Chains A and B, each alone.
Chain A
Amino acid sequence: MTATSKATRDQAHARVFDLDAMSLRELNQALHGLAPGSNETAWEVLNPKGNHSVAVGVDQPVSIDVRGSVGYYCGGMNSGGTITVHGSAGPGVGENMMSGSITVKGDASQYAGATGKGGLLVIEGNASSRCGISMKGIDIVVHGNIGHMSAFMAQSGNLVVLGDAGDALGDSIYEARLFVRGKVDSLGADCIAKEMRPEHLELLQGLLDRAGVTGVKPSEFKRYGSARTLYNFNIDNADAY
């Protein structure tokens, strides 16, 4: 069976939740009630209309297509779900994601993927400020631009930006790799440009492949990361606090 026909079959059997007719709580409770190994693997959410917390706390390997734009925290804490937002997402999409993936076909608002520990977040449009703030292992791929203070205090994971980054990229970054193809308005404290070694090119190619990005070469990106000078308190900087 080809991938297309499997998708078609899943689509035909998708469990449909129309948020004009049902409450968000009914949707999320149905998702949380899924037993491991359930055959209900395809879900469709209609009329999200900017609602908050659509499909938060998913912890089964289901696929969820959200037809429209969502509000805060869509897909928050996702663990294993494949969530696609066919619209734009409000603040905190995929916050604290553990695994699985979230794809936003439109734009994302502030702090997309904040504190995420794993999984893949793809924003096909632009992301806003503080994208990947305090990321802890998540991979984030943004096709467009990201706003200011992105990857602030990032600890682990990868942030890939095909467009430009705003001010103070990677401010107070601990670890985490930032790959930006366009211009960076400014780097935050302790964030520096770093050499692209073969292992980084390979890692980036893998991320681009997983995010469905084609026609873009890893060599077009610059890598940024931590200078690691803030790891220890330096008495010479005491006046700065």
Chain B
Amino acid sequence: MCGIVGLFLKDKSLEPKLGAMLSEMLVSLSDRGPDSAGIAIYGAPSGNEAKITIQSAKPDRDFRDLDTQLAKALGVPVSIAVKSTHAVVRTRPDKIDEAREAIQALRPDIRIMGAGDVVEIYKEVGLPEAVVDRFDVRKMTGTHGIGHTRMATESAVTTMGAHPFSTGADQCLVHNGSLSNHNNVRRELIREGMSFETENDTEVAAAYLSSQMAHGKNLGEALEGTLSDLDGFFTFVVGTKNGFGVVRDPIACKPAVMAETDQYVAFGSEYRALTKLPGIDNARVWEPEPATVYFWEH
């Protein structure tokens, strides 16, 4: 099973409601996956700041004084906003890679969920309702976002095994299905220099897309590549800094439904995820074709 949602806003007036809309969509699919849930939200770019979302099982210990220690290590201002087990570190965009290394050096137990100019990622074990409440996702604003509720089939039920998986700046991916050649693809990507946090098949798909885009492909072209290079069942929904994409494998037995209006493009594993969106009764609703890439960019 697993449930996926995605929402890409075209109408700026909906941006303050992105977190609330996406949360509603994800909660409606709770019974597709009780193991963990996660959400990635793309906020408005702040201009001269980049973000790293970090996670710790011991937030009281790991997040305390991290901002001052990081600021000292990097020599630039750093801020931290803590939300439960997660925190968002903000600093200068040119210091992001250095900040990642400094975080790992200062706090070895911290896990990095994702980084980029705009993305924030929150994911934990538990039902969507608990996860969105815990991180106050309903209050978040943004331009687009993706979410996932997991029924674990390929790897352990852990925070790191939850989706979305982020393997590149402002890139992340959610997946319904299972890949059969992920070990091989992982080995090839490791040879290219990529590193992996989990044994999860979805992390491989995310890293595959990052690798393709690092080689100069755009999101659409990278998604085309999944059709020949990844084997297994998949419906992928991906986000980039300004883009939103969907692809299903050629057999397409994992469910998917999309809706588009002048205000948004929405994706759900099931139609019921879309029923509370504004204007859904007059939206163009369709089932994405197998082996067909759909993507939108701002």
Q: Which of B272, B286, B289 contacts A50 (CB 8 A)?
A: B272
Q: Which of A50, A128, A129 contacts B271 (CB 8 A)?
A: A50
Does B140 have its Cβ within 8 Å of any Cβ on chain A? no
Shortest Cβ distance from residue A141 to the other chain B in the assembled complex, whole angstroms: 19
- Specify the main secondary structure of chain A where it touches its partner: loop
Given the contacts A91-B255, A129-B252, A49 and B272 also touching, CB distance less than 8 Å: yes
Given the contacts A128-B287, A148-B290, A71 and B253 also touching, CB distance less than 8 Å: no
Given the contacts A109-B255, A110-B253, A148-B290, A88 and B272 also touching, CB distance less than 8 Å: no
For A107, what are the chain B residues with a Cβ–Cβ distance below 8 Å? 285-287
Residues facing A in B239-297 (CB within 8 A) are 252-253, 255, 257, 270-275, 285-287, 289-290
CA distance A148 to B287 in the complex (A): 13
Given the contacts A128-B287, A129-B290, A50 and B275 also touching, CB distance less than 8 Å: yes
CA distance A91 to B256 in the complex (A): 10
**Residue pair B271, A69 in contact (C-beta under 8 Å):** yes
**Residue pair B272, A71 in contact (C-beta under 8 Å):** yes
The size of the chain B interface, using a CB distance under 8 A, is 15
Does A28 have its Cβ within 8 Å of any Cβ on chain B? no
CA distance A72 to B270 in the complex (A): 9
CA distance A147 to B289 in the complex (A): 9
**Residue pair A71, B270 in contact (C-beta under 8 Å):** yes
**Residue pair A90, B270 in contact (C-beta under 8 Å):** yes
For A109, what are the chain B residues with a Cβ–Cβ distance below 8 Å? 255, 257, 287
CA distance A69 to B271 in the complex (A): 8
Shortest Cβ distance from residue B287 to the other chain A in the assembled complex, whole angstroms: 5
Does A11 have its Cβ within 8 Å of any Cβ on chain B? no
For A69, what are the chain B residues with a Cβ–Cβ distance below 8 Å? 271, 275, 285
For A91, what are the chain B residues with a Cβ–Cβ distance below 8 Å? 255
Does A51 have its Cβ within 8 Å of any Cβ on chain B? yes
Residues facing B in A112-149 (CB within 8 A) are 128-129, 147-148
Kindly list 17 other residue pairs between chains A and B, CB separation below 8 angstroms, not including A50-B270, A71-B272.
A50-B274, A69-B271, A71-B271, A88-B271, A88-B285, A90-B257, A90-B270, A107-B285, A109-B287, A110-B252, A110-B253, A110-B255, A128-B287, A129-B252, A129-B290, A147-B290, A148-B252
Q: Which residues of B contact A (CB under 8 A)?
A: 252-253, 255, 257, 270-275, 285-287, 289-290
Q: Which residues of A contact B (CB under 8 A)?
A: 49-51, 69, 71-72, 88, 90-91, 107, 109-110, 128-129, 147-148
16 contacting pairs across A/B (C-beta < 8 A) = A49-B272, A49-B275, A50-B273, A50-B275, A69-B285, A71-B270, A71-B272, A90-B255, A90-B271, A107-B286, A109-B255, A109-B257, A109-B287, A110-B287, A129-B253, A148-B252
